[in-house]
Amino acid sequence: MPIYLTGMPGSGKTVLGRALADRLGRVFIDLDEEIEKTSGRSIPKIFEEDGEDGFRALETEALRGASERTGAVVSTGGGIVLREENWRIMDDTGLVLFIDRPPERIAKDVNPGHRPLLQGDRNKIFDLYRARETLYRGRCHIVIPNAGDAQVALETLVSVALEHPMRL
């Protein structure tokens, strides 16, 4: 069963996901990369041409495909939590972990030009966090803090993955 990493844009899902997959000897899937590969367009281009609803439909389709990859570590997009269907897929097929990085740290690091929902303003991350935090916390199986050293967050991820083999 897959391990799904959820969390805000810039929370560390991709970096930590790659490292976790390496440590566990598993396949890594970044849903945003999958969407770009299958659509032949960048995420900003998809938002521009199809809007957020069009992107979310592609995201759900990519999630369905990833859910069939036994044992994969899957980095989801920050907005995966906005559709109930996505929660059902993740909850029914794997272990859902919320990578919780404080928005203050994200705002310092994120490039708002690469994030369509930030529209060039890194401070919009605070609004997104307020709108989504309850969704992340309320539906994940486990919260993984990522407030400081990423290596500590990775070790926590590895420990959690090894402690929950029946979900894997």
**Closest-CA residue to 89 (of 98, 97, 80):** 80
What is the residue whose two structure tokens read 């069009």? 54
Q: Name the DSSP class of 41.
A: S
Q: Does the annotation place 13 within a ligand binding site? A: yes
10 labeled binding residue: yes
Q: Tell whether residue 115 is among the known ligand binding residues.
A: yes
CA 158 to chain centre: 17
DSSP-derived 3-state class of residue 75: strand
Q: Is 152 annotated as a binding residue?
A: no
Q: Is 56 annotated in some ligand binding site?
A: yes
Distances (CA, A) of 52 to 2, 80, 144: 26, 12, 27
Confirm whether residue 77 is marked as ligand binding. no
Q: Is 167 annotated as a binding residue?
A: no
Whether residue 10 contacts residue 113, with contact meaning beta carbons closer than 8 Å, is answered with: no
d(CA 166, CA 168): 5
> Is residue 50 a known part of a binding site?
no
Known binding residues are: 10-15, 32, 56, 78, 115, 132
Known binding residues for substrate are: 32, 56, 78, 132
Known binding residues for ATP are: 10-15, 115
